[in-house]
Chain A
Amino acid sequence: NAGVTQTPKFRVLKTGQSMTLLCAQDMNHEYMYWYRQDPGMGLRLIHYSVGEGTTAKGEVPDGYNVSRLKKQNFLLGLESAAPSQTSVYFCASTEYPGELFFGEGSRLTVL
C-alpha cells in the first residue's frame, strides 16, 4: 500500500502565482487534513475534511482553499502565493480522529 501520497514533493513559486497540492490516500479513510510545518511552530492545521464533499477551516486557513470531490483525494490550493506561505505541507488521513497517517511532505518555497 502506498498510504498517503503527496505531489509535488518540491515546488518553487513566485509571489502571486497559484498552485495546487494533491494528496491521495488508498486506505479508504473518511478524514483528511492539511497541515503546515514551520520551524518552532509545530504542525498547524490549515483545512480538514470529515468526508467526501466536506471541508472545514483549521487554525491557519487564510490564503488557502481546499476541495474533497473524491473520498481518496484532498486538494490544497494557493490562489496567490505569498512568501509567508513558504513552508513544508503535510497531508494526513485517518479512519477516525486521532491516529493520523501522514504523507512525506511537500516543500514549497515562494520567492
Chain B
Amino acid sequence: QQQVKQSPQSLIVQKGGISIINCAYENTAFDYFPWYQQFPGKGPALLIAIRPDVSEKKEGRFTISFNKSAKQFSLHIMDSQPGDSATYFCAASINSGNTPLVFGKGTRLSVIA
C-alpha cells in the first residue's frame, strides 16, 4: 500500500521556468515531510523539509507548499536551471516515533536550455 503518491513521474521544464512536483499522503499521523534530490550515480540528499505547523517553507529557489486539510504538499523550483536536473522524492514520516520514512516513487526532472 503506497502511502505517499507523487506526480508527475517525469517533468521537462525550460530554463528559467517553474518546476512543480506534487505529493499526496493518507496517514494523518505524518508530521514530517522532506524532499530529497538525487543526481545520477549518487545517493539521495535532503533538499528541504516542512512540518505541518506551517503552510510554506522557502529555501532559496526551492519552496514547499503544504495543505494539511487536503493532505497534499508540493515542491516548487523557481527559475529552474539545468543543474536542477535530477530525480526528486517526496517523503513522509511520524517524526516522534521509530517509523521509517515513506517515499514517493520519484519525479525525474529535466531542465532544458
Interface residue ranges, A against B (CB under 8 Å): 4, 31, 33, 35, 40-45, 48, 50, 58, 90, 92, 96-100, 102-105
Residue B49, interface by CB 8 Å = yes
Residue of B nearest to A104 (CB): B43
The smallest C-beta distance from B110 to any residue of chain A, in angstroms, reads 16
A102 touches B105 (CB 8 A): no
* CB atoms of A45 and B41 under 8 A apart: no
> B-side binding surface: helix, strand, loop or mixed?
loop
The size of the chain B interface, using a CB distance under 8 A, is: 25
CB neighbours (8 Å) of A42 from chain B are 6, 89, 103-106
Instruction: Give Cα distance in the complex from A105 to B41, angstroms.
Output: 8
Contact A43 B44 (CB under 8 A): yes
- Can you list 28 A-B contacts with CB-CB less than 8 angstroms, sorted by A residue number? A4-B43, A31-B98, A35-B103, A40-B105, A41-B105, A42-B6, A42-B103, A42-B104, A43-B103, A43-B106, A44-B103, A50-B98, A97-B94, A97-B101, A98-B32, A98-B34, A98-B49, A98-B101, A99-B34, A99-B46, A100-B36, A100-B44, A100-B46, A102-B43, A104-B42, A105-B41, A105-B42, A105-B43
**Are A96 and B95 in contact, with the CB atoms below 8 A?**
yes
Whether, in the assembled complex, B72 has its beta carbon less than 8 Å from a beta carbon of chain A, the answer is no
B35-58: CB near A (< 8 Å → 1, else 0) gives 010000111111001000000000
What 10 A-B pairs have minimum CB-CB distances, sorted nearest first? A102-B43, A42-B105, A43-B103, A98-B32, A42-B106, A50-B98, A98-B95, A104-B43, A102-B44, A42-B103
Which residues from chain A contact B94 at a C-beta distance below 8 Å? Answer: 97
Once the chains are docked, how many angstroms separate the CA of A41 from the CA of B104?
A: 9
The answer to whether A45 and B100 touch across the interface, beta carbons within 8 angstroms, is yes
Q: Give B107's nearest chain A residue, CB to CB.
A: A42
Q: Mark B91-102, 1 if CB is under 8 A from A, else 0.
A: 001110111110
Please give me the residue from chain A that is nearest to B104 by CB atom: A42
Cα distance A25–B109 when bound, in Å? 30
